[in-house]
Amino acid sequence: MTELVRLTACDIVDRLRAEALTPLDLLDALEARIAAVDGTVNALPTLCFDRARSHARSLMEKPVADRGRLAGLPVPIKDLAEVAGVRTTFGSPIYRDHVPDRSDILVEHLEAEGGIVYAKSATPEFGAGANTFNEVFGATLNPWDTTRSAAGSSGGAAVALATGMAWVAHGSDLGGSLRNPASFCGIVGLRPSPGRVAHDPGVVADDLLGVDGPMARTVEDVALLLDAMAGEDPRDPVSLPREPDSYRDAVRRPGRLRRVAFSADLGITPVDPEVAEICRRAAHRFAELGVEVVEAHPDLSEAPETFQTLRAAGYAASHLAKLEAHRDLLKPEVVWNIEKGLQLSMRELIAAEEARGRLIAQANAFFDDHDLLMTPATIVPPFPVEERYVAECAGKTFDTYIDWLAIAFSITLTTCPALSLPCGFTSKGLPVGLQVVARPRGEARLLGGAAQLECLLGLRDETPIDPR
pLDDT per position as a tens digit, 14-70: 999 999 999 999 999 999 999 999 999 999 999 999 999 999 999 999 999 999 999
pLDDT in the model for residue 290: 98
Give a three-class secondary structure readout of the chain. CHHHHHCCHHHHHHHHHCCCCCHHHHHHHHHHHHHHHHHHHCCCCEECHHHHHHHHHHHHCCCHHHCCCCCCCEEEEECCCCECCECCCCCCHHHCCCCCCCCCHHHHHHHHCCCEEEEEECCCHHHCCCCCEECCCEECECCCCCCEECCCCCHHHHHHHHCCCCCEEEEEECCCCCHHHHHHHCCEEEECCCCCECCCCCCCCCCCCCEEEEEECCHHHHHHHHHHHCECCCCCCCCCCCCCCCHHHHHHCCCCCCEEEECCCCCCCCCCHHHHHHHHHHHHHHHHHCCEEEECCCCCCCHHHHHHHHHHHHHHHHHHHHHHHHHHHCCHHHHHHHHHHHCCCHHHHHHHHHHHHHHHHHHHHHCCCCCEEEEECCCCCCCECCCCCCCEECCEECCCCCHHHHHHHHHHHHCCCEEEEEEEECCCCCEEEEEEECCCCCHHHHHHHHHHHHHHHCCHHHCCCCCC
Q: How far is CA 388 from the centre of its chain?
A: 19
Of the residues 103, 177, 410, 420, only one is catalytic, namely: 177
Per the annotation, the verdict on 263 as an active-site residue is no
Average pLDDT over residues 446-451: 98
pLDDT per position as a tens digit, 191-229: 999 999 999 999 999 999 999 999 999 999 999 999 999
Contact assessment for residue 416 and residue 438, using Cβ atoms and an 8 Å cutoff: yes
pLDDT in the model for residue 243: 97
Residue 265 has a CB neighbour count (10 Å cut-off) of: 16
pLDDT in the model for residue 214: 99
Q: Would you say residue 235 has pLDDT above 90?
A: yes
Q: Would you say residue 1 has pLDDT above 80?
A: no
Of the residues 92, 121, 153, 410, only one is catalytic, namely: 153
Average pLDDT over residues 401-424: 98
Mean pLDDT of the chain: 98
pLDDT in the model for residue 415: 98
For 72, 73, 86, the CA distances from 34, given in Å and listed in that order, are: 19, 16, 18
Nearest to 110 by CA among 171, 24, 201, 181: 171
pLDDT in the model for residue 113: 98
**Helix axes of 303-326 and 346-366: crossing angle, nearest 10 degrees:** 130
Strand duo 188-191 + 116-121: pairing: unpaired
Query: Domain 2-303+346-462 has what CATH class?
Result: alpha beta
Per the annotation, the verdict on 318 as an active-site residue is no
Average pLDDT over residues 335-352: 98
Q: Would you say residue 2 has pLDDT above 90?
A: no
Per the annotation, the verdict on 153 as an active-site residue is yes
- pTM, two decimals, is 0.98
pLDDT per position as a tens digit, 83-125: 999 999 999 999 999 999 999 999 999 999 999 999 999 999 9
Q: How confident is the model at residue 142 (pLDDT cuts 50, 70, 90)?
A: very high
